Each structure stands twice: as C-alpha cells, then as structure tokens.
C-alpha cells in the first residue's frame, strides 16, 4: 500500500470521533512491531520518530528511511511523523525524506516567538503538503505543559491555532511524558472545551500514563491523535529481561529482540482497538486541515 498522508488517517478519525494511535519508534524492531500490530488490528497507525531518536541514530535518515520503507509495504494505512522537533533543520530533513507530518515544538520560547517560529515552519511545510502539529505551553524536560496542575487554555489555544495555521495541537489536559504508571488524571471537560474551541484535531502526549478506560473517554471527549512511547518501551524491555533471565547464555540478539518485537506488536494491536472503539459523542465537526 502507498505511504499514507497523515490527514487521510487523522481526518476520518476526527470526523467520526475515534482515536488514532501514534507510536514512537526507537529502533527498527519498534517500527516492525507497530506495523505488524496495526495489520493485526486492521487499523491505520502513525509511526513517530523523535528528535532524541534521530540523535541516537546519528541522524534522522537511517531510522526514518527504514520506517518509510515499512510504511510503504504495510497492508494498512501507515504514516510517518517527526515527533517533538525543536530544530528547523531537522524539520526540513524530515520533509526532504518524505515524512507526512512534523511536530514542531517551540514551546520553550515566549508566546509571540513561539507563534512566529511555528508559523514559519507551517508555511514551509504546507508548501510541501506536509502537516504540522504544535504544542502550546512551556515544556521543561519530559514534564512541563503536561505536568499536573498545568492546563491549556481554550481561548489561547484557539488564538494560537489561528495565528500559526497548524493542522493539529497537542494540549495539556493532565497527562505527563515518560510516566511509568498508568494513573494520570485527565480533565475530560477541558478536552471537550478545547475540541469546540480550536477547530483542529487534538493530540494527547504522555498517553503511556493513561489507562485504557480513560484513553477511550479522552477520545470520546474529543481527543483524536494519541501518542504512546514509554508504555511500549516498558513492554519491550520487560520481555527482553524475561527472555534473558530464562536464557542467560544467549548471545544472539535476535533471540530476545524477536519476542520483544512480538510483544510490542500485540500491545499495539490492543491499544489501537481501544482507541477505535471509544464511544462517540456529539462533537463539533472537523475544520479542513488540507494544506494551502
């Protein structure tokens, strides 16, 4: 199947009030597992590569090209997305490689500088028919805008989206990045108000810290794209530990990476079904997110 544009995956979910899973790739086994899980569930998926992961591999190209190749041969729609990029140069590299969307994070800047930098990226990406996700709020480390007690204001979010022309917006509603437990407390009323205010799909970062029932409720309240990373890394690492514990003399990495890949694929399929089966509510319809 040809590489899927992100809006072909996001827009139907936004209009139909269902959730789309966006899972972070760290190494090729993650990408293979995510695609396999999506194929098992018969549902679309988004492969995400973060700026940190690009740095780990020395550049975006090795893991980016591998993910694009897997997406192009998948049996379900798969898009490839750049996650949490603070570098405009990295955004340009992602566009040149053929990524369908980018998340540009200028949230460390003062509001007006954030708007200006994000708008510049949006103008560049839209000329290449690439969608842009942004995040509103101050991000400190892995916490910041998603830390407890910090929330996105609907009026400010609406003004930010209008000023930057971004295609989706990550919002702070109670989740936090890199959580190891699934006990985050989300503000579902705020999600609904944000959905009504901004007119573009909402993105939930830090979803590893959210349990299944709350993920479904977040989608029903108006969340569309749901990012998961740490939860899958826990599954991957736990499986490797269990295998090596039972087989301490193993030296062939395929022996323990294979089971870890299979475990992640199974969890991806399960999470995609959770997000797709969220009960729909009567919510505002989508604003066109096509690039101009």
- Annotated catalytic sites, by residue? 83
Place of tokens 């972070």: 24
Q: Which two tokens stand for residue 207?
A: 């979803």
Q: Which two tokens stand for residue 259?
A: 């089971």
Q: Do 175 and 264 form a contact (C-beta atoms < 8 A)?
A: no
Report residue 47: phi and psi, to 5°: -90, 130
Q: Are strands 223-228 and 131-135 parallel, antiparallel or unpaired?
A: unpaired
C-alpha closest to that of 271 among 243, 239, 235: 235
**Alpha helix segments (H runs only) across the chain:** 6-16, 28-41, 51-56, 61-72, 88-97, 111-127, 154-164, 188-198, 212-221, 230-246, 253-276
**DSSP 3-state of 173:** coil
In angstroms, rounded to a whole number, what is the distance separating the alpha carbons of residues 207 and 52?
A: 18
CA angle, corner 138, sides to 146 and 292, nearest 5?
Answer: 95
């Amino acid at each position: 199947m040809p590489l899927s544009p992100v809006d072909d995956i996001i827009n139907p979910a936004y209009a139909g009030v269902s959730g789309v899973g966006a899972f972070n790739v760290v190494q090729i086994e993650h990408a293979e597992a995510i695609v396999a899980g999506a194929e098992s569930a018969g549902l679309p998926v988004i492969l995400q590569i973060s700026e940190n992961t690009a740095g780990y591999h020395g550049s975006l190209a090795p893991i980016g090209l591998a993910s694009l190749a897997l997406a192009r041969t998948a049996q379900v729609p798969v898009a490839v997305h750049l996650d949490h990029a603070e570098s405009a140069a990295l955004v340009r590299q992602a566009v040149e490689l053929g990524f369908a969307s980018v998340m540009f994070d200028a949230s460390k800047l003062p509001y007006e500088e954030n708007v200006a930098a994000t708008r510049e990226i949006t103008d560049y990406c839209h000329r290449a028919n690439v969608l842009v996700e942004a995040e509103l709020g101050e991000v400190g480390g892995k916490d910041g805008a998603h830390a407890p007690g910090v929330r996105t204001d609907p009026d400010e979010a609406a003004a930010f989206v209008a000023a930057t022309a971004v295609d989706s917006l990550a919002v702070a509603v109670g989740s936090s990045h890199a959580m190891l437990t699934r006990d985050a407390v989300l503000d579902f009323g705020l999600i609904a108000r944000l959905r009504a205010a901004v007119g573009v799909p909402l993105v939930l970062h830090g979803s590893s810290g959210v349990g299944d029932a709350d993920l479904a409720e977040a989608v029903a309240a108006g969340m569309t794209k749901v990012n998961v990373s740490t939860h899958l890394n826990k599954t991957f690492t736990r499986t490797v530990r269990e295998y090596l514990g039972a087989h301490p003399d193993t030296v062939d990495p395929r022996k323990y990476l294979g089971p870890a890949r299979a475990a992640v694929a199974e969890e991806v399929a399960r999470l995609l079904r959770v997000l797709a089966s969220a009960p729909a509510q009567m919510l505002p319809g989508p604003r066109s997110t096509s690039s101009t």
